[in-house]
């Protein structure tokens, strides 16, 4: 099992490198010049020599392949280069911003689970009753709601009107509540329906009937047999939506001026900060690839029938 795992990991690493090459070329192809935006201070005219000097210093005048080779060579020593904007190492900046985004992701997952597991379970148990109808309307509206609008409304209600929570910034637990709520509510719209339908489906399976026939407590049957079995589609959807969750954090971070990865990358794009953009693309694609691998592993835990090959 570990052997096939390692093989897969290696293949994925090669793939990520390939992706980084493509993005490197794309970065150089699109219009825009980091040197100009670095040198532009209050519209003072910049001399041609200054531009040429800086281009030379940053190595931007060399051929594309040489530049990529240099980047790759540094990468092997875990050197992601230096940000053009702040003159600080990209890796350090990344390590500084990552916890914020991870906290936000965790917080919104928590909100999502807290809303959608009980609501989904209730609407499966009381099928076609008012709980079910409420959850249907909730998920319909939730999936049509622009998350940034929900965030704006939440700021208006909870921080401007009621003064309960800080509207902007990051750093404390209170700063985390509004962004997580914004993302979590939007996400739970899909999960409520998924959990409901998957619970209904696994509730009709033979092993549930047999567990009931053995006289197990209904609650035990529900949580340990029906619910556990319906975790598989849940984990699949979770893994698929982790990417879109990362994308979602981007808007929400800008909306709440939250100092995470999303705000960092948008600032970098505007300034054409190539090392940061390149590093970010590499990090994100690595994250997604590794997460997908982990999800595959977690299936084996949830779904014992699949088994651990070679154990």
| Residue 100 CB partners (closer than 8 Å, separation 6+) | 170, 258, 259, 260, 261
CB burial class (10 A; 0-12, 13-18, 19+) of residue 83? Answer: buried
- Closest to another protein by CB, 134 or 148: 148
Which lies closer to another protein via its Cβ, residue 250 or residue 302? 250
Shortest Cβ 78–another protein spacing (Å): 21
Instruction: Identify whether the C-beta of residue 275 lies closer than 8 Å to the C-beta of residue 264.
Output: no
Measure CA 212 to chain center. Answer: 39
Nearer to another protein, 203 or 221 (CB): 203
Q: What residues line the site for another protein (CB under 8 A)?
A: 15-16, 18-19, 22, 26-27, 30-32, 140-141, 143-149, 152-153, 155-156, 160, 243-244, 246-248, 250-251, 254-255, 265-266, 269-270, 272, 277, 281, 284-285, 288-289
Q: How far is the CB of 146 from another protein (least distance, A)?
A: 5
Nearer Cβ to another protein, position 103 or 277?
Answer: 277
Q: Which is nearer to another protein, 102 or 140 (CB)?
A: 140
Q: Please, what is the minimum distance in Å from the beta carbon of residue 217 to another protein?
A: 31
* CB 260, CB 170: distance < 8 Å: yes
Q: Are 295 and 44 in contact (CB under 8 A)?
A: no
Q: Which is nearer to another protein, 187 or 221 (CB)?
A: 187
Residue 177 contacts residue 212 (beta carbons within 8 Å): no
The nearest distance, CB 91 to another protein, in angstroms, is 19
* DSSP-derived 3-state class of residue 36: helix
User: Minimum CB separation from another protein for residue 219, in Å?
Assistant: 28
Least distance in angstroms from the C-beta of 213 to another protein:
27
CB of 119 to another protein, least distance (A): 19
* C-alpha to C-alpha distance for 270 and 87, rounded to whole angstroms: 16
The DSSP string of 130-197 is HHHHHHHHHHHHHHHS-HHHHHHHHIIIIIIIS--S--S--SSHHHHHHHHHHHHHHHHHHHHHHHHH
82 versus 155: smaller Cβ distance to another protein: 155
């Amino acid at each position: 099992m570990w052997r096939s795992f390692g093989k897969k990991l290696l293949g994925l690493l090669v793939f990520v490198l390939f992706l980084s090459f493509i993005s490197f070329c794309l970065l150089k192809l699109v219009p825009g010049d980091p040197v100009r935006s670095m040198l532009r201070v209050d519209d003072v005219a910049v001399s041609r020599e200054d531009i040429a000097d800086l281009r030379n210093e940053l190595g931007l005048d060399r051929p594309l392949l040489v530049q990529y080779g240099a980047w790759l060579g540094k990468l092997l020593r875990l050197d992601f280069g230096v940000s053009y904007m702040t003159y600080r190492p990209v890796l350090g900046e990344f390590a500084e911003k990552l916890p914020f985004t991870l906290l936000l992701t965790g917080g919104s997952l928590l909100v999502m689970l807290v809303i959608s597991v009980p609501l989904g379970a209730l609407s499966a148990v009381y099928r076609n009753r008012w709980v079910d109808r409420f959850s249907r309307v909730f998920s319909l509206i939730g999936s049509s709601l622009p998350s940034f609008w929900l965030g704006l409304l939440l700021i208006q209600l909870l921080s401007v009107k009621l003064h309960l929570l800080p509207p902007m910034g990051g750093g404390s637990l209170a700063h985390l509540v509004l962004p997580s709520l914004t993302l979590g509510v939007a996400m739970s719209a899909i999960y409520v329906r998924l959990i409901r339908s998957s619970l209904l489906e696994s509730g009709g399976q033979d092993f549930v009937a047999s567990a009931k026939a053995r006289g197990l407590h209904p609650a035990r049957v529900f949580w340990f047999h029906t619910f556990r079995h319906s975790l598989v589609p849940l984990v699949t959807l979770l893994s698929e939506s982790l990417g879109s969750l990362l994308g979602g954090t981007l808007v929400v971070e800008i909306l709440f001026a939250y100092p995470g990865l999303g705000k960092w990358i948008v600032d970098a794009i505007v300034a054409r900060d190539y090392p940061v953009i390149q590093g970010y693309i590499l990090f994100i694609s690595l994250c997604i690839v590794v997460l997908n691998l982990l999800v595959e592993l977690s299936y084996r835990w949830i779904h014992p029938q699949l088994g651990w090959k070679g154990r």
